[in-house]
Amino acid sequence: MIINKPYVLTDIKKTTPDVTTFTFKAQDNTSVDFVPGMFAMLTYQDKATGQKISRAFSMANSSPADSLQFFISMIGGQLTSKLAQAKIGDIYYISAPYGQFRFDINAGNKLLFLAGGTGLAPFYSMLKFIIDKGAAPDVMLLYSVKYPNDIIERDGLERMISQLGGRMVVTVTRAVPEDNYQGQTGHVDAAMIARYVPDVKERVSYICGPPAFVKALKDALVGIGVPEKEIRAEMWG
Ligand SMILES: Cc1cc2nc3c(=O)[nH]c(=O)nc-3n(C[C@H](O)[C@H](O)[C@H](O)COP(=O)(O)OP(=O)(O)OC[C@H]3O[C@@H](n4cnc5c(N)ncnc54)[C@H](O)[C@@H]3O)c2cc1C
């Protein structure tokens, strides 16, 4: 049974100009066992009015874990504006884990991770989990961000990908000439996938990000000839 429990906010780290990593630990010190890809419901409760705001966030850390870590886009919405004022020691309520988007370490040895923006979170969790388990799948990460400095936990990502002997391609969708960005630009599409992942049909593909990103890439993979049963997707929003 999934229980809604008080969690203490133990760490706040600004990861990019728009994304902050929040770490929560259960007040009763229990750990959470989840499959990477799954999400938690995080609830803010106003002390004065009792009003609650709950939103879903994908775990970004490995499992099982004493703490839960989330990469959160600080968009100034109902919950994210509360989080923008949060302080270490604050209490939030969390129930977890939920969701059908689950990493299956036994599903295949060749993986394609397609991440859009904060949709990187479940893949960060999967990479950590793979390394914790001592597994060594062939991982290709295609990661779409708006601006060059939007790459979440770049050092950790590069370290894990290189430890696995995998490959990461970042594409920047809103590069401006002043950025002097030399890397890949533009939205991920079938042509970009075919260019960087010529063996895409041999891979199990996981997609996570905003609805338009997920839909476009699911269609692109199916268009290239990837069987639907080899595609797993999580849509936010
Ligand atoms: C399964 C699942 C997992 C999720 N995991 C994560 C996660 O790991 N990290 C994360 O950051 N979010 C995640 N989300 C989204 C999250 O649940 C919230 O929707 C988000 O944080 C906004 O909540 P809010 O209360 O601040 O905004 P709300 O007050 O609910 O307002 C949302 C409004 O903001 C608009 N909006 C959406 N995105 C943006 C944007 N980038 N800039 C400006 N406006 C925008 C939307 O159109 C919407 O109308 C996930 C959602 C789902 C369903």
Q: CB of 70 closer than 6 A to ligand 1?
A: yes
CA dist 132 → 49, 64, 129 (Å): 43, 10, 5
| Boundaries of every domain in the chain | 5-98, 110-235
pLDDT tens-place string over residues 186-236 = 999 999 999 999 999 999 999 999 999 999 999 999 999 999 999 999 987
pLDDT tens-place string over residues 12-71 = 999 999 999 999 999 999 999 999 999 999 999 999 999 999 999 999 999 999 999 999
Q: CB of 68 closer than 6 A to ligand 1?
A: no
Tell me the CATH number of domain 5-98, given options 3.30.70.120, 3.20.20.80, 2.40.30.10, 3.40.190.10. Answer: 2.40.30.10
Distance from the CA of 116 to the center of ligand 1, in angstroms? 13
Q: Is 3 left (phi over 0), alpha (psi -120 to 50) or beta?
A: beta
Give the C-alpha separation, 40 to 97, whole Å: 5
Pair 220, 193: CB distance under 8 Å: yes
Task: Please provide the CATH number assigned to the domain covering 110-235.
Answer: 3.40.50.80
What residue has token string 């799954």? 38
Radius of gyration of the chain, Cα coordinates, nearest whole angstrom: 18
Helix spans in 140-235 (H): 154-163, 190-196, 211-224
110-235 matches 5-98 in CATH topology: no
Distance from the CA of 110 to the center of ligand 1, in angstroms? 30
What number of residues does the chain have? Answer: 237
Beta bridge partners of 45: 52
